Copies of this chain bind each other. A is one copy, B any other.
Amino acid sequence: MEKAGIDLLIVTDPANMAWLTGYDGNAFYVPQCVVVSKAKDPLWFGRGMDANGCRRTTYLGEDRIRSYEDHYVQSDTLHPMMVLGQIIAEEGHGSATIGVEKDNYYFSALSFEVLSTALPNATFKNADRLINWQRIVKSEREIAYMRGAGKIIEVMYQRISETLRPGVKQSDVVAELTHAGTRGVGEYWGDYPAAVPNIGAGADASAPHLTWSDRPIRPDESIFFELAGVHKRYHCPLARTYYLGKPTPQILDAEKAVLDGMQAGLEKALAGNCCEDIAQAYVGQLARYGLVKTGRSGYSIGLGYPPAWGENTASFRDGDKTELRPGMTFHFMTGLWYGDWGIEITESILITERQVEFLSNVPRKLFVID
């Protein structure tokens, strides 16, 4: 904050709120935040009915929990940021330089407008990703949670492999994989993922972010799943593609290209290299097979809340010079989507002092179900 010239930081990203205070609630659909200053403990601000949730999940003292009345919720005339403005002024920060997460889902254009009006003497600075970047190197405990999430994704794919057969409804397969993911494994119980399963069957595999219906699984068709195992809000995403029947040459060629490309990328996943090295190795290898990959090939992962499990910091793409350091975790998102087909085989990885570590152990291949 000092380096960024910020006196006071308003944190609206639920993952940042949780990382700073432990606050874990499902109430981010109404305005709430954690206000960080230099002098005092963070201040939690949220809806009145959620203050008990704060009391039950954070270490904050009663004087650092402030809330707004329910008639501020979804009103045409009142807005919770009016109340936050008053609190900030009362705390003596009315003329402060205030950092706000301007591009966060939970800090709307109106929130900013109302807060600015309520604090006419304050100066606002964009503090997007300031906390996110602090989260990028994981602690031992965070890594343990993510390895737990990795064990969970293993049983999710096990269940898919047992269930996925021609004629079975997509929704029934999702019921099974979600069941396995929520039960978890041993001490690792399953938490909810920041995003629901993406599924692409047949030509729908050309689109990465569609979900399911009751469409039956069809023979002689591929279907991909992009899912996350989750433990205590920490994610291990993983995608795999299945083929029902005898795979076509096209999908077998794509499998080979993706696996070779991944191998090339993974060899670059070493402390001291940078993010773009992995992307370039992957995309470069794909090119040898005549495949073009335009999007990014991965992103930082960890603690996450809806709508996404990415940390919004480092990406595997051209120009991202973020240095890989031990304790960083990424989803090496190697999915390919073209006009009427696609393939997703991915890994979630941990950068270590030596070679890359995989957060889960699911065979890295096209799964074929005869």
Which of these, B29, B107, B210, contacts A307 with CB under 8 Å? B29
Chain B residues with CB below 8 A from A339, complex form: 52
Bound Cα distance from A213 to B79, whole angstroms = 33
Q: A136-144, A196-204, A266-274: which one contacts chain B?
A: A196-204
Does B110 lie within 8 Å of A108, measured CB to CB? no
Question: Complex formed: what's the CA distance from A337 to B342 in Å?
Answer: 48
Whether B175 and A207, one on each chain, are in contact in the complex, defined by CB atoms closer than 8 angstroms, is no
- List residues 174-202 of chain A with CB under 8 A from any CB of chain B: 174-176, 178-180, 182-184, 187, 189-192, 195-196, 198
Contact for A103 among B103, B111, B312, CB less than 8 A: B111
Whether B110 and A128, one on each chain, are in contact in the complex, defined by CB atoms closer than 8 angstroms, is yes
Are B207's CB and A189's CB within 8 A? no
A102 nearest CB across to chain B (Å): 4
Q: Which of A69-77, A84-92, A245-253, A349-357 contacts B (4 or more CB under 8 A)?
A: A69-77
Report Cα–Cα, A171/B176, bound state, in Å: 15
A103 touches B110 (CB 8 A): yes
A182: contacting residue among B49, B171, B210, B319, CB under 8 A: B171
- A sample of 23 inter-chain contacts (CB < 8 A) reads A27-B209, A29-B105, A49-B337, A50-B207, A52-B339, A53-B209, A56-B203, A73-B295, A100-B109, A102-B109, A103-B111, A105-B106, A105-B108, A107-B108, A109-B109, A109-B111, A110-B126, A171-B189, A171-B190, A171-B191, A172-B182, A174-B182, A189-B213
Known: A50-B209, A74-B315, A175-B178. 13 other contacts (CB 8 A): A26-B198, A49-B207, A49-B209, A52-B337, A70-B317, A74-B299, A102-B108, A108-B108, A109-B113, A110-B128, A172-B182, A192-B211, A307-B307
